[in-house]
Amino acid sequence: MFTGIVTDLGEIVGFTPTAQGQLHRLRIACRYDQTTIADGASIACNGVCLTVVASGVEGSRTWFDVDAAAETLALTTAKHWKLGTRLNLERALKIGDELGGHIVAGHVDGIATLVSREDLPDMARFELSTTRELARFIATKGSITLDGVSLTVNTVRDVTFSVLIIPHTLSVTTIGGWKAGDEVNIEVDLMARYAARLTEMK
């Protein structure tokens, strides 16, 4: 379980397709203390919960290896990742940690496409579109996770929605580099999903 508060920016420094391209072994460099990364640990990478299979230190940087399987490659932006791709990272919650964002499972629901970017004096406004199936879970002032970042929805119109990003978030996540046409991972709010399911069952 995660909160959508990014704690580091990682970089893919190793990329090995295996199993006829149905599995990618990724090596991600980061600034985490390697002694705190156990094999089997969960780390959210651009919102995708991946399992650490190995870790170590090379030079001044820690690295950890994860496998992106067929379903992850089919449903998320992981299919576009390559050497040099930068990723928003978050370690799994521990009991007693501050819940700074909202409850995030790390199970990406699909992809949103960036329609436009507007740079304002004190922030940036992004408009995105997604599928009708996912759009029904998105509400004004509700929570949403985009590439692993917990955000508040600003406006909603049919299958498009917007978010406002403050300078701090632009500087400590990959959002600062977003541009029109980019695809990002989207995880809808768990509470919205449960509320919709309860309504369906009535």
- The yes-or-no answer on residue 16 being catalytic is no
Helices then strands (H, E): number in the chain?
4, 12
Q: Are 43 and 66 in contact (CB under 8 A)?
A: yes
123, 165 Cβ separation under 8 angstroms: yes
- Of the candidates 7, 41, 42, 113, the residue annotated as catalytic is 42
- Catalytic one among 18, 131, 140, 152? 152
Q: Is 42 marked active-site?
A: yes
Question: In which residue are the tokens 């970017």 written?
Answer: 117
Sign, CA torsion 165/167/168/169: positive
Catalytic residue among 19, 54, 80, 107: 107
Residue 45 annotated to the active site: no
Contact call for residues 149 and 177 (beta carbons, < 8 A): no
Name the residue type at position 104. Answer: V
φ, ψ for residue 50 (rounded to 5)?
-120, 150
Is 49 among the residues known to form the active site?
yes
Q: Considering 41, 69, 105, 139, which one is annotated as catalytic?
A: 69
The CA-atom distances, in angstroms, between 131 and each of 51, 97, 114 are 28, 33, 13
Instruction: Quote the CA–CA distance of 149 and 87 in Å, as a whole number.
Output: 11
Tell me which of 7, 51, 116, 129 is the catalytic residue: 51
From the candidates 30, 44, 49, 112, which is the catalytic residue?
A: 49
Q: Is 152 a catalytic residue?
A: yes
Q: Known catalytic residues?
A: 2, 42, 49, 51, 69, 107, 152
